Amino acid sequence: MKFLDQVKIFIKAGDGGSGSPSFRREKFIEFGGPDGGDGGRGGSIILKSERNLNTLIDYRYQQHFKAKRGGDGKGKNKTGKSGDNLYLKVPIGTQVFEEDNKTLIYDFKKENEEFVVAIGGRGGFGNTKFKSSTNRAPKKFTKGKMGEEFSIWLQLKTIADIGIIGLPNAGKSSLLASITRARPKIANYKFTTINPNLGVSVYNDKELIIADIPGLIEGAHSGVGLGIKFLKHIERCKTLLHLIDVNEEDLVNSYRQVRKELGKYSKELLKKEELIVFNKIDLIDKKELIEKEKIFKNKIKKKNYNISTMNKLSLSKIRSILTKYAS
């Protein structure tokens, strides 16, 4: 699945229909009075959040959206038909910004939220509205108001139950592919993942949304590497799975490096529940693994889990542990 997390779109709500300048015309009625109806309201543009969407890719090729115009009023005091509202679907976690891409308008956090982002124009008045005791046959009518039109930015901050974080090449994509149906790009070099990947894991009838966040390096909080662009996605993950390649020379340093970047970006990230997982244990001698674990626990004093994406038993165990974090 292709991932797009930011897009600029132009939206225009429908214009209101014009009022009618009609006069009553019937057989045997020589001077019928005004009977022009009002114009219909233009359609509004409404954003609606959908749980089954994980990307803004639908807006990559179509970036202009226009709602229906209201119908014109007619004789016999018939009001014009209101224009249909235009609904645009966005993923949960989408933020709506003004054209400056800085001023937040709305933040979608739940499923089926609706936000009227552009209001349709009001319909014009027919000549009936202008009839008075001194003007029995008004010809005056008004045109409909223009619907709102402007550009907005949509930014997606991924919302997932579990966000897999760690240094580049820690095996995040491999883990995601092993415990979900996601098929991220996997290779033995840094920054294979340049966009967040999402997968869904179902275990004991519980559904778990897991995000593979691109690797963090020193200076990420200030834009180094893939930087801030992807740190924002971590904010919307409920729990963090900190994946560490157990073959790294200094596991404590690897762990602290990622935590340091999280803290510099936002102290709130350090408050999230965290699972520490040592990966690639099939590539290390058992005695060395025990020694590395001992050093890590003495300095970090946190529990860790050991896995290998090549070992189905360890994967089943970690899936079971993650299940308790399901929505």
Q: Domains in the chain, please, with CATH?
A: 1-156 (2.70.210.12), 160-323 (3.40.50.300)
3-state secondary structure labels for all residues of 216-275:
CCCCHHHCCCCCHHHHHHHHCEEEEEEEEECCCCCHHHHHHHHHHHHHHHCHHHHHCEEE
pLDDT at 24: 87
Q: pLDDT band at 225, cuts 50/70/90?
A: very low
Buried b (16+ CB within 10 A) or exposed e, 90-106: bbbbbbbbeeeeeeeeb
DSSP state of 99: T
Residue-wise pLDDT tens digits, 62-82: 999 999 999 999 999 999 999
Mean pLDDT of the chain: 86
Separation of alpha carbons 164 and 86, rounded Å: 36
Q: pLDDT band at 216, cuts 50/70/90?
A: low
| C-alpha separations of 284 from 32, 51, 167, 281, 288 in Å | 96, 41, 19, 6, 7
Q: pTM of the entire structure?
A: 0.69
Exposed/middle/buried for 50, CB within 10 Å: 0-12, 13-18, 19+?
middle
Separation of alpha carbons 149 and 12, rounded Å: 4
Residue-wise pLDDT tens digits, 31-59: 778 999 999 999 999 999 998 787 788 89
- As a whole number, mean pLDDT of residues 244-253 equals 95
Q: 271 Cβ partners below 8 Å, 6+ apart?
A: none
| Residues 189 and 170: beta-carbon distance below 8 Å | no
Reply yes or no on whether the pLDDT at 185 is more than 50. no
Residue-wise pLDDT tens digits, 107-118: 998 999 999 999
- As a whole number, mean pLDDT of residues 2-20 equals 89
| Residues 256 and 244: beta-carbon distance below 8 Å | no
pLDDT at 157: 78
First and final C-alpha spacing in the chain:
22
Q: pLDDT band at 93, cuts 50/70/90?
A: confident
Q: 104 Cβ partners below 8 Å, 6+ apart?
A: 95, 96, 97
